[in-house]
Amino acid sequence: MRRRDIGSAPRRATRQKQSAHGRRSVRVALEHGGFGTTGDFAMLVNVLRKLRQQIPGATIAIRRGRNEKQVTLHEVDEYFEGLQTYYRNTWNRFYNGWHKVVPQAMRGAALNGLVILATIRLLIGALVARAIGTLICCPAGARSFAGAAMRSDIFYVAGNGGMTDAFLYGGVYAPCAETLLARTLGKKVLFSGQGVGPLESPLGRAFAREAFRRAELVTVREKESLLTLRKLGVDGSHISCTGDDAHDLPIDPNATASARERLLRLFDPAPKIIAAVNVRWASYAQTADGSLKEPLDVCRLLSEVPGMGIVFVPMLTDCEEEIASYHRMVKELHGRIPACVAPYQPLKPEEIKTSLAAVDLAVGYSYHFLVFALSSCVPALGVYETAYYKQKLEGVMERYAMPDATIGLGTNGWHAQFTHKLQELLNNREGVRMRLRERQKTLAEQVSLPIRVLRRLAEAGR
């Protein structure tokens, strides 16, 4: 199928698309996390898979993003430009001009005012569009999304760990503004598997509060996100804590044995215990100096376990810098512990999850690295260096009934704490696996809630 931008006029064939029962197919505009990680892609493809299974014949439009090349492999009907660029341009106009003439003490307020004005302009354009059926009053940079929202029945915000004001251009602002625009147009909105917070600024909190309180359903992926919403005054029966959209990403259980054989062939000699390690190497997650000191300390502590071998697993879709950091670490660890880097093609999420299902232990910074391991019943430890990752990793461990399996690097006594928790996991590996298998049943039911609600809304609206 030839892909096109949903911001342009729809083709007649698309306009007349019908379900197998002869009724007009439901239209879903899908927002997603798009920061270029394998986890973002896993959430997106898993949601697309479930949408196609539960709502056959649906017309699905998704936001263009860094994962677009991979997404074209799946059944997507149309694309639209999200509001990320609209807000990026708003910030750029300020920093390229206005901030030079605004007194420094007033720059924060001036920027917030500019963002508020840009949002009001959006919503006025949406009101006019709803009244007269044209986007003429909508800002040019927002017309692609506004067109998608006008033609959709449901706006679905898939799993996203970026509902925070820690990110200047994206984060909480664009998806929440999209929600407000969609609701102004009279569309139903669902949020699935959201990671909300930290929200430090009054403006970020206001965006989140106004968007989440207007949704038909909100599911968050950790209890801290639920508490964040409650602190904002967003509460009710439409909000629940379920889990991550990538939790039930399917893999072939029969492929695990061959995956372990492939991993063992990377070593010479082969270790008795394979530990998969991921260092979150991205501009928004680095330590202040980009140092590998703490990650190397983690690996040195792993080397104290007899028979241990380390395989570094990349999780970024553009991973050259991440791969280079792993090779530096392999060189630093030479002679201390067998270590290697998993081959990267780039890997598909299903392949990474299959490989992680074949290891004995996972230690990582990345949220979805841990989701892949834990949902495959592999014991894991989460390590973090910032408040943003503290919330994420403590949240995912709590969902998998392992609330004490995180360590804050750089804190007093973290080396001893890591060694203690590592030994606990290794000594009780089978017990941990049994606990994770039991937890799987509950989480599988919980994470399917948004798709079930979407299906009911789709059937009711036909």
User: 357 near 256, Cβ under 8 Å?
Assistant: yes
Residue 30: name the closest of 184, 196, 210, 160 by CA. 160
* Distance between CA atoms of residues 42 and 349, nearest Å: 6
pLDDT at 170: 61
> How far is 12 from 380, CA to CA, in rounded Å?
51
- The backbone torsions φ and ψ at residue 163, rounded to the nearest 5 degrees and listed phi first, read -80, 65
Tell me the CB-side half-sphere exposure of residue 410, using CA atoms within 13 A: 12
The type of residue at 165 is D
**Vertex 50, ends 45 and 53: CA angle to 5°?**
125
Segments in 185-292 forming alpha helices (H)? 202-212, 223-231, 256-264
* C-alpha–C-alpha distance, residues 370 and 11, integer Å: 42
Is residue 390 within 8 Å of residue 270, measured between CB atoms? no
Q: Which residues in the chain come in under a pLDDT of 70?
A: 1-24, 34-35, 66-74, 98-100, 167-170, 280-290, 345-347, 461-462
| Domain annotation for the chain: domains and CATH numbers | 12-246+445-461 (3.40.50), 253-427 (3.40.50.2000)
pLDDT at residue number 34:
66
Q: What is the rounded CA–CA span in Å between residue 288 and residue 410?
A: 12
CB 30 within 8 A of CB 145: no
Answer yes or no: pTM beyond 0.85: yes
Which residue, 341, 414, 349, 353, is CA-closest to 382? Answer: 414
Cβ atoms < 10 Å from Cβ of 198: 17
- CA gap 79, 14 in Å, rounded: 13
Q: What DSSP string runs through 224-243?
A: HHHHHHHHTT--STTEEE--
In whole angstroms, what is the distance from residue 131 CA to residue 150 CA?
A: 11
